[in-house]
Structure 1
Amino acid sequence: MSRLQRVAGRDPRAGFRAEGRDCTTSVPQGLLKAARRSGQLNLSGRNLSEVPQCVWRINVDIPEEANQNLSFSSAERWWEQTDLTKLIISNNKLQSLTDDLRLLPALTVLDIHDNQLTSLPSALRELENLQKLNVSHNKLKMLPEEITNLKNLKGLYLQHNELTYIPEGFEQLSNLEDLDLSSNRLSTVPVSFSSLSSLIRLNLSSNQLKSLPAEISKMKRLKHLDCNSNLLETIPPELAGMESLELLYLRRNKLRFLPEFPSCRLLKELHVGENQIEMLGAEHLKHLNSILVLDLRDNKLKSVPDEITLLQSLERLDLSNNDISSLPCSLGNLHLKFLALEGNPLRTIRREIINKGTQEVLKYLRSKIKDDGPSQDSVTETAMTLPSESRVNMHAIVTLKILDYSDKQAPFIPDEVFDAVKNNIITSVNFSKNQLCEIPKRIIELKEMVSDVNLSFNKLSFISLELCMLQKLTFLDLRNNFLSSLPEEMKLLIRLQTINLSFNRFKMLPEVLYHISTLETILISNNQVGSLDALKMKMMENLSTLDLQNNDLLQIPPELGNCVNLRTLLLDGNPFRVPRATILMKGTAAILEYLRDRIPT
């Protein structure tokens, strides 16, 4: 049966009504012709206040070109061409959709985000093949009950509307895998949600929820649950029995206690920042065997238990802005890549050490484990805090294995600094906060042992080959210099994991970084970076943190969404228009998903 005959039963005028002439100004004929061949039509950002009739009737009417051509080639046999399966009419000025929507029964994707819709037509129920429906960023106050007829729907995106409740029968969407209800006005979640047995991702953030139904734990496939920015005071204990849960977001609520998670063996990220949690105990930590990210910032914690060492997989720990006065030395035994401590009244670790970054803090805590008694502690504190008569801090060299000549505002590093090393093992070099215009050549003497180098807050405009010879280097801090490029020889740093290039003069991501396969963290904020190669970045399989804040990026390549290993991607402060700020606020996973959806097929 031809396409024309199939739809004839729906409209008695089918095949006898030519397309309206008014379509030519809003929808080019060439676009419609291409849509008949591909089954896809994109009318995004065309300032449309209504959908032209020729779009609704694209499967029904004889196309304009048929009236001008009596001999059809194979490419022009419009009656044999495909039905419309994907319609994108986002970023327009639509206030309503007509029931003519039923004339597109083959649709699998309907994207109408960023319009001014206040309702959806009842004809929606006839789109039985629909798999993805995006009505985000509109003005919907309610959903039609007919939406529950979309049995094949897998993705439903309703974020940033004005919904106050969910219609009865919503649980009939048994194939739904991704549901976004964030930024609405919901005060309750229906118990019937537990019947959404295929759901993998549920976003309820930025609503007015005061509680979650215990039945939500029956979602056996749910991996991602986002309840950020609500009014939750407690979490039902049943939530801890969700065996498939991997990502749980509970930021910006009113939680006083951290829930226990005895069954959440797969939980990789737990975000409970900006709550009112006062205590962190062993019972809260002992089951988090797979946790990679633990966000506890902006709470009321007074201490961290020794049992924190149970979290052997932990990579990122955020404890900033709490009331913590001391840290257990055992924390130093974790393999953290990121530790945030700002805003705590810490008395046992000096600010200078905290400012040096995660690895320095962990190294300091490990050194304290080795101390045998209080007398050793007092020697440590005195040697580190009292002004030394010597220009070289010998205690730092002998005890902490740090060659420290920082904050001297010196134009060069004196030879006596390197002479003081003698036969001691040095793992860290700190020459920050000086006036260095070049890296001291004698740094090459440490190439067999040094792993951390801090050259921040100097006047470096180039990197010397001597630095590139430090083959055991894992951490390199070059922020606040005058650098605009990096030498190709830096690819010799075959163990480098973290590089900080913030506050320099880079106009592009240095090419050599793409060739350092061990890199896990690149910090290059506050430069002038205008482009990056997403395809090369995808090859950087170990890269988990990329900070590009406050640069000159006019666009973000959609292919960056394929960099699925990224756990932290920071893009704020760039002049690009998409992704929009609302996407950036939702975090790395949402940004990557947004970009992947926009990769040309």
Structure 2
Amino acid sequence: MPPRVTPLSTSQSIRSAPGRVPVSQPSSALPPAARIPAQSRFAQFRKQNADRTPDAKNDALDRAAAGSAKALDRRILAMHVEGRINVSNKGLERIPQVVFDPKSTLDDLAAANEPNLPQWWDFQDVTRLVAADNRIAELDDKIGALGALTVLDLRNNAIPSLPASISTLPLTHLTLSNNNLTAFPDFACLPTLHTLALSRNRVRALPPELARCTALMRLEVAENELVDLGGLGACSSVEVIVASANHLTTLPPALFLLLHLTELDVSSNRLATLGFLSTATASADPTPLSLPRLRRLDVRKNQMLRFADASVVAEGAAVGNARMAPVSWALPALEELLAGYNRLEDVDALVGAAPKLATLELSTNRLSSVPSSVLPLALLHRLDLSNNAITTLPPQLGLLPLDTLVIEGNPVRNLPQGAGKSTRILLQGLRDRIKGGPAGGLAGADVGAQGAGAGDILGGGKAGSVLVPTQADAAARVVNLSKRGLSDGDLANMRDALSVPALAFEPVSCDASDNKLARVPDLVYDWAHLTVLSLAGNKLERWDAIVGDATGPAPLTYLRELDLSRNALAMFPDVPGGSSWRPLFPALDTLILSYNRIGRIPETVNQMFPKLTVLLAESNRIVEMGRPDVSLANLEVLDVRNNEIAKVPEELGLCRKIRAVKMEGNPFRVPRQAVMQQGTDAILKWLRDRLPTPVS
């Protein structure tokens, strides 16, 4: 028989097995509180707290809030050391006072013996303030005390108006999207602004004072209540306009003054037509309406029957002392056109003027056939024609370099077998229908396996070759001579073939880049309305230019952009002697001279190019800049990176119109890097402060 084991008492079990919790204990062994049933313990808790007043409860909450506020103050003080403050998504109803007066908050925390506080002399001027995603309903007038603030982000709040003190700030980026604004005040139209974001408000009109924003590059006003875009014509630097989901019924002609515009989004409005009209003097020839740098145009979800109607105003109709010219287009850089969900029946006027289109979206319109202007688009990769009334597909469509072709929702008959499986099979089936193979495709255009571009020269570009422009070239008035291996002699022999009568159109853009040219071709002087000229990547060593005299017509009167980068130029063109002369390029806006051998910027630049606003001269051998206040008085953008500039002239600070200066990669020691990193305004101020007579 096994030995009898005597059970231990509860106390003995606990003592013999420290750390072990018994499975059960008699109620007499539990502490008094534990012997009370759970329901009774809750009642006892309520009884014990019944005497606490609401004020006592609020005091507890206040202490917790005070602790949280103190922690936020400490974090903001730490941000003052960097000069960049981010208080986004904190549930704030106002911007904390420590943002505007860190010294007082620092003193208060120091008096309360808070440890590890920053030193006040480590504080930097606040240049960036982000208070997005809060509940701020009023912007404190003390915002004006942040005199160095360049970036202010207040998106996703409840702000109905702005304080007048904001007019004193040197803001370059102002973001007020998704607030309660009903108007954008005139005093907030700052000349320093580069980006203005007002989307998702209730703004009904843009103020005329927006014209003061001469440095504005990006404007976002989507999802407001705008009925027009007036006031933009003077904002000559604008590159991006996002004005979707408003109440626009027409677009102002002033948009064609925005020569730097690269993106325009006016989708989800009430546009019946783009409606651009141009005025000309009675003796002037009508010229196409040109946006030479526009790359993306989004006009989806409007009410357009056509992009532009040449019969809107009959030619010769008097308007004051001017006549209205028929509408035509020149969009030589357009790569993406989104025009779905309209009522378009005819798109050839605009599509034919955009030879570089890569994406064309025309879904859900009223097209009865594939537009003929699509067929010459040698760079087109995506074409969406879904949900129209197209019944047949032209075989030439198969010659395009399409990656995606969408035709669903059309009553197309006799599709190639297997066409629904992939774009590749559909295109191959269309090509198989062309008699004689791909060479028998597009008349007058070489679009085959080599993917030749618009305006190809048949015969390899040798002397005597014949230029056969495509329909897109003629509509856009573009001459493409790029990458043909052309010499000066070749172009001289082709001058007759490239004349206006032979081309049957007046060119407004010419690309002769990446050839073997050693001099500026004379044929460019034959094209009176040329606005864009590229001679980049050639062998130009000097500028053999024909300069107009005081009695004859000024050559290249309309030229606005000239690209001479990647040549061997050693100097700028100089002003000839004597008084009987006129500028060669009276309207030139942009001059690109990067990657040449230029040694200095002469003081005569402003005389040769009186309207020059953009000068790009990166990677040359520039040692000195002369007197920029004389030679570059109208300049807005200056790029002289990677040159040999040993000293930045203080007079550059007198160029009041400059909004962007790039000078990295030069051997100068001042301004120091700390100043350079603060941006153009800081650089110009630093230079002005060092003039013999300080300039305010």
**What's the TM-score bracket when you normalise by the shorter of the two chains?**
0.5 to 0.7
Per the TM alignment, residue 200 of structure 1 is displaced from its structure 2 partner at its CA by 0.6
Per the TM alignment, residue 115 of structure 1 is displaced from its structure 2 partner at its CA by 0.7
Change (3 A) 1:237 1:335: farther
- The residue number in structure 2 matching 1:302 is 368
Residue 277 (structure 1) aligned with residue 344 (structure 2): yes
Instruction: For residue 360 of structure 2, give the secondary structure of its aligned residue in structure 1.
Output: strand
Equivalent AA in structure 2 for residue 51 of structure 1: I
Change (3 A) 1:323 1:54: same
Whole-Å separation in 1 of the counterparts to 2:372 and 2:147: 61
| Structural mapping, 1:296-335, within 5 Å | 296-335=362-401
Count of equivalent residues: 345
Aligned match for 1:180, one of 220, 223, 239: 220
Whole-Å separation in 1 of the counterparts to 2:96 and 2:347: 59
Residue 31 (structure 1) aligned with residue 75 (structure 2): yes
- The residue number in structure 2 matching 1:52 is 96
Per the TM alignment, residue 27 of structure 1 is displaced from its structure 2 partner at its CA by 5.4
Whole-Å separation in 2 of the counterparts to 1:115 and 1:76: 30
CA RMSD of aligned residues (A): 2.5
Once the two structures are superposed, what CA deviation does each residue of 1:485-540 show, in whole Å capped at 9, x if it has no partner?
xxxxxxxxxxxxxxxxxxxxxxxxxxxxxxxxxxxxxxxxxxxxxxxxxxxxxxxx
- The residue number in structure 1 matching 2:645 is none
Aligned match for 1:120, one of 141, 157, 162: 162
Residue 210 (structure 1) aligned with residue 252 (structure 2): no
Residue 249 (structure 1) aligned with residue 249 (structure 2): no
Change (3 A) 1:43 1:325: same
Equivalent AA in structure 2 for residue 367 of structure 1: D
Residue 293 (structure 1) aligned with residue 333 (structure 2): no
Once the two structures are superposed, what CA deviation does each residue of 1:566-591 show, in whole Å capped at 9, x if it has no partner?
xxxxxxxxxxxxxxxxxxxxxxxxxx
Whole-Å separation in 2 of the counterparts to 1:47 and 1:195: 39
Residue 136 (structure 1) aligned with residue 173 (structure 2): no
Aligned match for 2:133, one of 67, 71, 91: 91
Instruction: For residue 219 of structure 2, give the secondary structure of its aligned residue in structure 1.
Output: strand
Change (3 A) 1:262 1:213: closer
Q: Which runs of 5+ in 1 are unaligned?
A: 1-20, 373-601
- The residue number in structure 1 matching 2:408 is 342
Whole-Å separation in 2 of the counterparts to 1:59 and 1:144: 32
Per the TM alignment, residue 279 of structure 1 is displaced from its structure 2 partner at its CA by 2.5
Whole-Å separation in 2 of the counterparts to 1:130 and 1:60: 25
Per the TM alignment, residue 287 of structure 1 is displaced from its structure 2 partner at its CA by 2.7
Whole-Å separation in 1 of the counterparts to 2:334 and 2:103: 47
Equivalent AA in structure 2 for residue 94 of structure 1: I
> 2:78–2:118: 8 Å Cα contact kept in structure 1?
no
Once the two structures are superposed, what CA deviation does each residue of 1:544-595 show, in whole Å capped at 9, x if it has no partner?
xxxxxxxxxxxxxxxxxxxxxxxxxxxxxxxxxxxxxxxxxxxxxxxxxxxx
Per the TM alignment, residue 24 of structure 1 is displaced from its structure 2 partner at its CA by 4.8
Once the two structures are superposed, what CA deviation does each residue of 1:109-136 show, in whole Å capped at 9, x if it has no partner?
1111001111111111121x21111000
Whole-Å separation in 2 of the counterparts to 1:349 and 1:57: 73
> 2:389–2:410: 8 Å Cα contact kept in structure 1?
yes
Whole-Å separation in 2 of the counterparts to 1:275 and 1:71: 65
Whole-Å separation in 1 of the counterparts to 2:219 and 2:292: 19
Whole-Å separation in 1 of the counterparts to 2:155 and 2:147: 20
Q: Which runs of 5+ in 2 are unaligned?
A: 1-64, 279-287, 309-326, 438-696
Whole-Å separation in 1 of the counterparts to 2:232 and 2:202: 20
TM-score, normalised to structure 1, is: 0.54
Whole-Å separation in 2 of the counterparts to 1:117 and 1:55: 18
Whole-Å separation in 1 of the counterparts to 2:114 and 2:340: 68
| Structural mapping, 1:64-75, within 5 Å | 64-67=108-111
Whole-Å separation in 1 of the counterparts to 2:67 and 2:212: 38
Per the TM alignment, residue 33 of structure 1 is displaced from its structure 2 partner at its CA by 2.8
Equivalent AA in structure 2 for residue 226 of structure 1: D
Equivalent AA in structure 2 for residue 153 of structure 1: L
Change (3 A) 1:287 1:346: same
Per the TM alignment, residue 60 of structure 1 is displaced from its structure 2 partner at its CA by 6.4
Change (3 A) 1:337 1:307: same
Whole-Å separation in 1 of the counterparts to 2:371 and 2:302: 23
| Structural mapping, 1:423-434, within 5 Å | none
Whole-Å separation in 2 of the counterparts to 1:55 and 1:26: 13
- The residue number in structure 1 matching 2:258 is 219
Once the two structures are superposed, what CA deviation does each residue of 1:2-43 show, in whole Å capped at 9, x if it has no partner?
xxxxxxxxxxxxxxxxxxx95852752441232121111111
- The residue number in structure 1 matching 2:557 is none
Instruction: For residue 195 of structure 1, give the secondary structure of its aligned residue in structure 2.
Output: coil
Aligned match for 2:186, one of 139, 145, 157: 145
Change (3 A) 1:89 1:307: closer
| Structural mapping, 1:186-205, within 5 Å | 186-190=226-230, 192-205=231-244
Change (3 A) 1:153 1:23: farther
> 1:117–1:138: 8 Å Cα contact kept in structure 2?
yes
Once the two structures are superposed, what CA deviation does each residue of 1:137-185 show, in whole Å capped at 9, x if it has no partner?
111111222102x221111100000011112311101111110011000
Equivalent AA in structure 2 for residue 331 of structure 1: L
Change (3 A) 1:60 1:246: farther
- The residue number in structure 2 matching 1:169 is 209
TM-score, normalised to structure 2, is: 0.47
- The residue number in structure 1 matching 2:273 is 234
Equivalent AA in structure 1 for residue 131 of structure 2: I
Whole-Å separation in 2 of the counterparts to 1:90 and 1:23: 23
> 2:419–2:429: 8 Å Cα contact kept in structure 1?
no
